[in-house]
Structure 1
Amino acid sequence: MGKCCKCNRRLLCMCLLPCMMTGHLLIYIMVSIFVTISYTPPKITIHYIAPGFSANSSALASHPIGPFWNLRLEDGALWNQLQHVWDRQHNPILRGNTTGVIRKPRAKLLTEIEDECLSDCRSHKCSVPRMHDLNSLPEQMRAFIRSMHCREYPLLINQPGMCRRNNGSFGLEAPMLLMAIKSQVGNFENRQAIRETWGRSGLVKGESNRKGELVYTVFLLGRQDSSTGPHPDLKNLLDLENQKYGDILQWDFRDTFFNLTLKDLLFWHWLQQYCPTAIFVFKGDDDVFVRTGALLDYLHKQWDEHNLWRAYTNETGMDLFVGDVINNAMPNREPSTKYYIPERFYKGIYPPYAGGGGVVYSGSLALRLKEVSERVRLFPIDDVYLGMCLHKLGLSPHHHPGFLTFDLPETDKGNPCAYRSVLLVHRRSPKEMLMLWRQLQNLPGPMKVARNVPFLQRFP
């Protein structure tokens, strides 16, 4: 009897044990579900705050300690500091987000190195930005710093219908090449020599006997006045020249070496408004010589390759920028030279740029350069500024050996056959242009067409 009771208790325990474990498991699951449902996570404002000091602005995050979004740009110089302000202003990561919606940055960010200026840029009454020991710098640098915030100047002479005139009679919709030549008011002889030789407007044939392509030439001028030195009054002569040829673009700013950058900037605005369909643009000085036929042959090959590539992709824009590329260049620190850039104004190396008097780029890239230039501070060396704008786009220029910006060897300068692989040579006087042009026209047989250079490659 006792043994039976013990067996029954064991059997009962064995039966109840699974039930108890299952019950505990059910209670644990129910408690977990209840805790999960009743838990409310803390509310987190999702936006990035860079480590650094406060700018006292509700529209922007705190100012970063270091320029982590552009590690190649050093601090400690005026241009670098001003560029950091714009980099921060246009960087979406650094914009404040107090309402969950990204705000647009303010049109003007006031800092220790930039004051708001409401005066006319042409009056030079406003000195923006402020800089210690400004008076110790050379006059051309002082003048540039005083007006480097000014980007808009009225047109004194315009050619609004240039890219629309005669296109119908030629049976062409847009110019293949628009040649924009930087000149000065008094350089009449240079402009005339260009018109009579390599810069003729109209239908121009390549050297490989292609059909003629539409080429237009414009000359980019500023204003000469007493502030740039004693000049004779040439306004009437310039008006007569423009009436005869209709190829002058002149803006109301002082035509100085450090203001050459303005010619690029203002030309891009003009291009967007009056000639946005130009396929290629040549930008050069009025003392270079260009083998225009060979250049057209080269551009034809690039255009044909681009159209083939476009047939297999959705890309419509063409990123072509070619010239004599200079890499790892340092600013000139010699005060006696016209290229002098003091360390107080700019620190660091220059980005890759094409210099020496002439470059070629696609019309679509010109419009992109115009847009990105609004986020790059003006720099007094125009070739370097172009490199800065390209760098901002994530592009770098391509070198072409046919751009001889430092000229041929002295023994070859007078030999026409030495120009067979040349696209551009710098420098040539008006008389030398005319003489070289005639010599090249009299050479037997077609000259060698310059070899291809690939499109711009994006860098990381």
Structure 2
Amino acid sequence: MGRCCKCNGRLLCMCLLPCMMTGHLLIYILVSVFVTISYSPPKITIHYIAPGISANSSELASYPLGPFWNLRLEDSALWNQLQHAWDRQYNPILRGNITGIMRKSKVELLPEIENDCVSDCVSRKCSVPRMHGLNSLPEQMKAFISSMHCREYPLLINQPGMCRRNNSSFGLDSPMLIMAIKTQVGNFENRQAIRETWGRSGLVKGESNKKGGLVRTVFLLGRQDSSTGPHPDLKNLLELENQKYSDILQWDFRDTFFNLTLKDLLFWNWLQQYCPTAVFVFKGDDDVFVRTDALLDYLHKRWEEHNLWRVRTNETDNDLDLFVGDVINNAMPNREPSTKYYIPEHFYKGRYPAYAGGGGVVYSGSLALRLKEVSERIRLFPIDDVYLGMCLDRLGLSPIHHPGFLTFDLPESDRGNVCAYRSVLLVHKRNPKQMLTLWKQLQNLPGQC
């Protein structure tokens, strides 16, 4: 009888054990589903509204955070709809029926805006895409919209031999650093101050005096913008300047704030054709000051780290994807019509991707060529820094923040202190006189501090 009880007890345990395990598993699944449904991600505080307005003191951030790159069609926003059409066109999953997709994109999705001009962009004879509220926009936005499909402009002044070895007295194959400076025709003083200080072309030593590199500087220009008022004709002076220094690149488009993005695209085209082996590129404005020797030290370090990584991992075919600057996250479009950064709701909706703002960034030459390629699938945007962030985002890359890029300057109390510049790579902004003064003060900086 006792043995029978023991057998029955074991049998009962063996029967109940799977039931208990199944019950626990069911409870675990129900709890997991409940937690997943009820979970909401932590809210990220918006700390920046382009170009630098605090969200705590403004009502301009009118849109919630969400993914930047989004295939969801945004109603009434011109850029979003145009980009949506391109996203569908270049989607590899949908390309099997590319004809039908493009027909649908143009006819069904974008009946009010898909009116890309097919006339000559250089002649500037172009019809404006139909857009709600277009007539109420500022002139610079209307001008941008009328030509945002135009990406190719003739070179008026070129430097085809800038990076050729037989043009170098140093026997080097290619520049360690090419500095592409955005400027305007009338900014003679800025260009000259850069040539005499941080933008000198030639063999430049690093701050440590151990390593340096060949630096080449080019200035990126468009045509004088006659729409802003009467200007003296500076064409002959610019030609004389170029004859003396041979560092001007000028294209036949209006040199306006919203056309700064064109300088990036056209420079990438030039770089691919005339200087594809440049190791690094600095892109900046003509009112910044760069500690070029310290920048070369930083770039040498990154280059050596990358080469060491390639040897260790046997990834010898991988190029360096480096993009460094003063990175801005969670930025929203500026909706204040009185600012030059104004982006109306009818043109663009959503937040901006992470981008490096201010007066300058540095990136690898190999990445520059990839940016050129991916830019062909991204609609032009009137803020050049944001557009670079869009291109990076599409490549699946993020800009690297470096605290030495001071695009909003040093604290006022430190600007006259030479030792405060020890960790600075770039500071914005400085006029020509300040560049020359600061350059003299910073000679032999390590010895002074």
What's the TM-score, normalizing by structure 2?
0.80
In structure 2, relative to structure 1, the CA distance for the partners of 1:69 and 1:234 (3 Å cut) is closer
1 CA distance for matches of 2:127 and 2:249?
A: 28
1 CA distance for matches of 2:165 and 2:188?
A: 24
SS at match of 1:110: helix
Q: Cα deviation per residue 1:309-343 (whole Å; 9 max; x = unaligned)?
A: 12232333110000000000000000000000001
Q: Select 1:110's aligned residue among 106, 112, 116.
A: 106
TM-align CA RMSD: 2.2
Q: Which letter maps to 1:273?
A: Q
**Contact 2:165-2:171 at 8 Å conserved across structures:** no
* Structure with larger RCO (C-alpha < 8 A, sep 6+): 2
Q: Which letter maps to 1:318?
A: L
Q: Select 1:362's aligned residue among 364, 369, 377.
A: 364
SS at match of 2:331: coil
In structure 2, relative to structure 1, the CA distance for the partners of 1:437 and 1:337 (3 Å cut) is same
Q: Cα deviation per residue 1:190-214 (whole Å; 9 max; x = unaligned)?
A: 0000000000000000011124410
2 CA distance for matches of 1:152 and 1:328?
A: 32
Is 2:388 the partner of 1:386? yes
In structure 2, relative to structure 1, the CA distance for the partners of 1:421 and 1:401 (3 Å cut) is same
Q: CA deviation at 1:74?
A: 6.0
Q: CA deviation at 1:397?
A: 0.3
Aligned to 2:223: 223
Aligned to 2:374: 372
Q: Which letter maps to 2:257?
A: F
In structure 2, relative to structure 1, the CA distance for the partners of 1:406 and 1:168 (3 Å cut) is closer
Residue pairs, 1:36-75, within 5 angstroms: 70-71=69-70, 75=74
Aligned to 1:155: 155
SS at match of 2:180: strand
Question: Unmatched 5+ residue regions in structure 1?
Answer: 1-67, 448-460
Q: Which of 1 and 2 has greater Rg?
A: 1
SS at match of 2:218: strand
2 CA distance for matches of 1:107 and 1:153?
A: 28
Q: Which letter maps to 2:106?
A: L
**Contact 1:180-1:218 at 8 Å conserved across structures:** yes
1 CA distance for matches of 2:68 and 2:350?
A: 16
2 CA distance for matches of 1:292 and 1:69?
A: 34
Residue pairs, 1:58-457, within 5 angstroms: 70-71=69-70, 75-76=74-75, 77-97=77-97, 110-111=106-107, 112=111, 113-164=113-164, 166=166, 169-311=169-311, 312-443=314-445, 445=447
Q: Cα deviation per residue 1:77-114 (whole Å; 9 max; x = unaligned)?
A: 110000000000000222345xxxx8898699634221
Q: CA deviation at 1:359?
A: 0.2
Q: Which letter maps to 2:402?
A: H
Q: Cα deviation per residue 1:30-82 (whole Å; 9 max; x = unaligned)?
A: xxxxxxxxxxxxxxxxxxxxxxxxxxxxxxxxxxxxxx995376612110000
SS at match of 2:398: coil
Q: CA deviation at 1:127?
A: 2.2
2 CA distance for matches of 1:281 and 1:206?
A: 16
Aligned to 1:62: none
2 CA distance for matches of 1:69 and 1:229?
A: 38
In structure 2, relative to structure 1, the CA distance for the partners of 1:444 and 1:424 (3 Å cut) is closer
**Contact 1:324-1:401 at 8 Å conserved across structures:** yes
2 CA distance for matches of 1:150 and 1:293?
A: 38
Aligned to 1:42: none
**Contact 2:211-2:297 at 8 Å conserved across structures:** no
SS at match of 1:213: strand
Q: Which letter maps to 1:244?
A: K
Q: How many aligned positions are there?
A: 377
Q: Which letter maps to 1:194?
A: I
Identity of aligned residues (%): 82
1 CA distance for matches of 2:100 and 2:371?
A: 22
In structure 2, relative to structure 1, the CA distance for the partners of 1:172 and 1:241 (3 Å cut) is same
Q: Which letter maps to 1:156?
A: L
In structure 2, relative to structure 1, the CA distance for the partners of 1:160 and 1:168 (3 Å cut) is closer
Identify which range, 415-424 or 219-228, moves more after superposition: 219-228
2 CA distance for matches of 1:104 and 1:166?
A: 52
SS at match of 1:203: strand
In structure 2, relative to structure 1, the CA distance for the partners of 1:232 and 1:167 (3 Å cut) is closer
Identify which range, 104-113 or 410-419, moves more after superposition: 104-113
Q: Cα deviation per residue 1:364-416 (whole Å; 9 max; x = unaligned)?
A: 00000000000000000000000000001011101000000000000001111
Q: Which letter maps to 2:425?
A: L
2 CA distance for matches of 1:106 and 1:234?
A: 45
**Contact 2:165-2:172 at 8 Å conserved across structures:** no
Structure 1 runs of 4+ with >3 Å offset: 68-74, 102-111, 165-169
2 CA distance for matches of 1:95 and 1:72?
A: 15
In structure 2, relative to structure 1, the CA distance for the partners of 1:247 and 1:128 (3 Å cut) is same
1 CA distance for matches of 2:279 and 2:104?
A: 35
**Contact 1:405-1:426 at 8 Å conserved across structures:** yes
